[in-house]
Amino acid sequence: MNIVIHPKVLEQRPWLSVEDISHAVLYPLAMRARSLMPHVVAGIGFDLAVREIEWLADVDGDDWLIYHAMDNPSVKFRIEVGLL
């Protein structure tokens, strides 16, 4: 799996690092493809500081482009990935 973090993610959330986001993607608590866009995967995982991170990835084979990541996942996002 090749993980690329879009630069805007790091600009919008400067307290998250590439390593934090990559760890959350590599070791998810839950993840699910979006029903209307099966190439988009939504997931929640822990970063290196043990914060829950929600993330969205555009998947093309082994290439995963993370274009959204933030800590404190919303209830709506938790429901989407099946944690609630």
H/E/C letters for each residue in the chain?
Answer: CEEEECHHHHHHCCCCCHHHHHHHHHCEEEEEECCCCCCEEEEEEECCCCCEEEEEEEEECCEEEEEEEEECCCHHHHHHHCCC
What is residue 36's predicted lDDT score, i.e. its pLDDT?
A: 87
- Give the pLDDT of the chain (84 residues) as one tens digit per residue: 999 999 999 999 999 999 999 999 999 999 999 988 899 999 999 999 999 999 999 999 999 999 999 999 999 999 999 999
The pLDDT, as a whole number, for residue 78 is: 97
C-beta of residue 34 within 8 angstroms of C-beta of residue 18: no
Q: Which residues pair with residue 3 across a beta bridge?
A: 64
Q: Is the pTM value of this prediction over 0.75?
A: yes
